[in-house]
Chain A
Amino acid sequence: MSVDKDTVRHIARLARLALPEEKLAPLAGELNGIFNWVEMLNEVNVEGVPAMSSVVAQKLKWREDKVTDGGDADALMQNAPEHEGSFFVVPKVVE
């Protein structure tokens, strides 16, 4: 499998990264270098091997479904690049 400029443009879009046109080809080259190296995983027969879902065997813990924190909008707003009262400001979304 080989990654071309169009693929890089597509995944950059999925990842919400604005990439200038001139960066697409060099990135495709770098990614191909990495994916060619990763190809060695195809040597291994993984038939019947379960995918790892949890690295340390553990039972998921249960807890009561109740609010334990929150209710402090001011603290949350302190780091907002742009806000009005307790609302985050974004460019217009709905026409």
Chain B
Amino acid sequence: MSPTVFTLAEARDALKSKKISSKELTGAFVKAVEDARALNAYVTETPEKALAMAAASDARLAKGEGGALEGVPLAIKDLFCTKGVRTTAGSKILGNFVPPYESTVTQNLWNAGAVMLGKTNMDEFAMGSSNETSAHGPVFNPWRARNSNANLVPGGSSGGSSAAVAADLCLAATGTDTGGSIRQPAAVSGIVGLKPTYGRCSRWGIVAFASSLDQAGPMTRTVRDAAIMLTSMAGMDPKDSTSMDVPVPDYEKQLEGGIKGLKVGIPKEYRMDGAPPEIAALWDKGAAWLKAQGAEIVEVSLPHTKYALPTYYIVAPAEASSNLARYDGVRYGHRAKNARDITDLYEKSRAEGFGPEVQRRILIGTYVLSAGYYDAYYARAQKLRTLIARDFTEAYQKCDVLLTPATPGPAFAVGDKSDDPVAMYLNDVFTVTVNLAGLPGLAVPAGLTESGLPLGLQLIGKAFDEGTVLRAGLAIEQAAGFSHKPANWWRAA
């Protein structure tokens, strides 16, 4: 058995008890990554760095020392700045940007002893739900429908991370989630993805998309692994004034205790017309699983749900258009040649460097913030956001956690939705509300479609109550008994 199929918890325990060395484990992953280039999950492989970090971990483990993730090989979404390792955010405009600093979240992981295998592919600036907007080309989902060779998308924007975890190309990966970019790819790739509460993890050193929505989180094979990884990622950071000074519990310990008496809310507005019957059936099954373990199921209402996506498509582009103003072709990244003057330099560098989806969102954001339209669009959207957040506050009067589908359907074919922006945006219909309200959300694999593709369920918690979300997620995971793996069609001959 290859050690690449370990869960993070199993690998951690095997390393601590010296059943395997980090060098051995890391070496197996380096090889698996090389053999899986057909998936395009990694945009930068760092095998030498990985093996050097593994050797240092082995030295610490030999002395009986080491952190919570000592010797554990991880993949890092290419949105996290990594000192001395190219960071592109999936965009041409960052060119060969090599950060002279390390993001706080990745530094926390290295401090805990983790090993970096490389940087994973993603939608450009995290704008997308299929990983097709990446300047490095699309990622292919390791999963294919039964009796089909059609390439499917791995979801997005953290599509390289979800594919890498699903195909055993790392033990776990980091992702970021602005409207569903951890949970949606996790769900359609058959893995676990957790978006923590806004402010739980530092945003410092993560290339900014929409600062009031962005949050980093773990993408893993199991709920336990997500709990372990979040414990190391989270925490207050003086360099991010929105990171919260709330103690970080040992989330793995919080998995214990079961869900007897837990009140689980089922928001009726998430029953969407036209949704595939498989989604509704899985959702009902999930509620039954929780009930069988002693939870109480209550119906709740989130009346503004249908306004969440349009609200998001005003707020997020507005923030993006401001954040992305920094790409000017002067201080770093792509610079156009033969510019007539400084304005021409800005305009050409940005037109050459940003892809079509990013340009579209910059234009939307600029428009909704421009004189004469600000009140009609942006100010109204910020009020809707208040109403959407209030819906959750009211629902939590009646329940402790919410259960919903994670996505409106399974992975779709590459190219299927890339011509229709609104159709693409609808992939995030069940996840985006959570970002607008700043809450934690967890996607857990729960079953397969008739054609053999993974589907997930989502648990949504109160702010800073990741512990309950993870405990309920564990209950779903245990009941679902999801142990399916994609067939390995991608290995290099």
Report whether B363 and A58 are in contact in the complex, using a CB–CB cutoff of 8 Å.
Answer: no
Is B3 close to A, CB under 8 A? no
The reply to whether B306 and A40 form a contact with Cβ atoms under 8 Å apart is yes
* A60 interfacial by beta-carbon distance below 8 Å: yes
Which B residues lie within 8 Å of A16 (CB)?
325, 328, 343, 346-347, 350
CB distance from B359 to the nearest CB of A (A): 6
Q: Is the CB of B364 within 8 A of A34?
A: yes
List residues of chain B with CB within 8 A of the CB of A31.
360, 363-364, 367
Q: Are A52 and B363 in contact (CB under 8 A)?
A: no
Q: Is the CB of A49 within 8 A of B386?
A: yes
Docked pose: A74 CA to B366 CA in angstroms: 34
Which A45-64 residues sit within 8 Å CB-CB of chain B?
46, 49-53, 55-56, 58, 60-61, 63
* Chain A interface residue count, Cβ-Cβ cutoff 8 angstroms: 48
Does B484 make an interface contact (CB < 8 A)? no
CA distance A56 to B242 in the complex (A): 9
Q: Known contacts A41-B310, A56-B463; decide if A49 and B387 are in contact (CB<8 Å).
A: yes
Note all chain A residues with C-beta closer than 8 A to B199.
56, 58
- Interface segment among B24-32, B260-268, B374-382: the answer is B374-382
Contact status A14-B379, CB under 8 Å:
no
Closest residue of A by beta carbon distance from B426: A37
Q: Which of A8, A31, A49, A93 has the most CB of B within 10 A?
A: A49
B362, A51: Cβ atoms under 8 Å? Answer: no
Residues in chain B near residue A56, CB distance under 8 A: 197-199, 242, 244, 438, 463
Inter-subunit contact B241/A60 (CB<8 Å): yes
Q: B321 an interface residue at 8 Å Cβ cutoff?
A: yes
Given A46-B387, A88-B330, A14 contacting B370 (CB threshold 8 A): yes
Main secondary structure of the interface of B (DSSP, over half): helix
* A15, A19, A31, A80 interface centre (most CB from chain B within 10 Å): A15
Interface residues of A in 1-23 (CB under 8 A from B): 1, 3, 7-8, 11-12, 14-19
In Å, the complex CA distance between A3 and B325 comes to 22
For residue A87, give the distance in angstroms from its CB to the closest CB of chain B: 11
The residues of A that contact B328 with a CB separation of less than 8 Å are 16
- Contact in complex: B306, A17 (CB < 8 Å): no
B339 part of interface (Cβ distance < 8 Å): yes
The answer to whether A80 and B351 touch across the interface, beta carbons within 8 angstroms, is no
Task: Verify if A67 is at the interface (C-beta below 8 Å from B).
Answer: no
Contact A17 B362 (CB under 8 A): yes
Contacts of B343 in A (CB 8 A): 16
Tell me how far the C-beta of B144 lies from the nearest C-beta in chain A, rounded to whole angstroms. 31
Chain A residues, CB < 8 A from B95: 81
Count class of interface residues, chain B: 35 or more
Complex alpha-carbon distance, A38 and B367, angstroms? 13
Return chain B residues, CB-CB under 8 Å to A3: 367
| Known A40-B306, A79-B98, A91-B340: A12·B332 in contact at CB below 8 Å | no
Q: Chain A: which residue is nearest B463 at the CB level?
A: A56
Query: Is there an interface contact between A17 and B241, defined as CB atoms closer than 8 Å?
Result: no
Task: Give min CB distance, B326 to chain A, whole Å.
Answer: 11
Asked whether A90 and B330 contact (CB < 8 A) given A11-B363, A49-B387, the answer is: yes
CA distance A94 to B174 in the complex (A): 46
A88 to chain B, nearest CB (A): 5
Q: How far is the CA of A76 from the CA of B341 in the complex (A)?
A: 24
Q: What are the residues of chain A within 8 A of B334 when measuring CB–CB?
A: 81
- Say if the beta carbon of B47 comes within 8 Å of chain A: no
Interface residues of A in 66-83 (CB under 8 A from B): 72, 75-76, 78-82
A49-B330 contact in complex given A38-B310, A56-B244, C-beta closer than 8 Å: no
Q: Does B331 contact A (CB under 8 A)?
A: yes
Q: With the chains together, A55 CA to B436 CA distance in Å?
A: 7
- Determine the distance from Cα of A49 to Cα of B381 in the docked complex, in whole angstroms: 11
Contacts of A30 in B (CB 8 A): 360, 421
* Contact B313 A40, beta carbon cutoff 8 Å: no
What is the distance, in angstroms, from A5's C-beta to the closest C-beta of chain B? Answer: 13
Which of A7, A16, A19, A34 has the most chain B CB within a 10 Å cutoff?
A: A16
When C-beta atoms are compared, the residue in chain A nearest to B390 turns out to be: A49
B197 to chain A, nearest CB (A): 7
* Given A15-B321, A17-B350, A90-B342, residue A79 in contact with residue B437 (CB < 8 A): no
Cβ–Cβ contact B198 & A55, under 8 A = yes
Residues of chain A lying within 8 A (CB to CB) of residue B213: 55
- With A18-B347, A27-B363, A38-B377 as known contacts, state yes or no: A79 contacts B340, CB within 8 Å: no
Residues of A within 8 A of B363 (CB): 8, 11-12, 15, 17, 27, 31
A86 to B85, CA, bound (A): 23
> Which residues in A have their C-beta under 8 angstroms from that of B285?
none
Cβ contact of B384, chosen from A8, A17, A44, A81, cutoff 8 A:
A44
**Pairs of residues from A and B, 3 with the lowest C-beta to C-beta distance, nearest first:** A55-B438, A51-B382, A79-B332
17 A-B pairs whose Cβ atoms sit less than 8 Å apart in the complex:
A1-B373, A1-B376, A17-B354, A17-B363, A38-B314, A41-B307, A41-B384, A44-B304, A50-B383, A55-B213, A56-B197, A72-B100, A81-B332, A81-B335, A90-B345, A91-B340, A92-B341
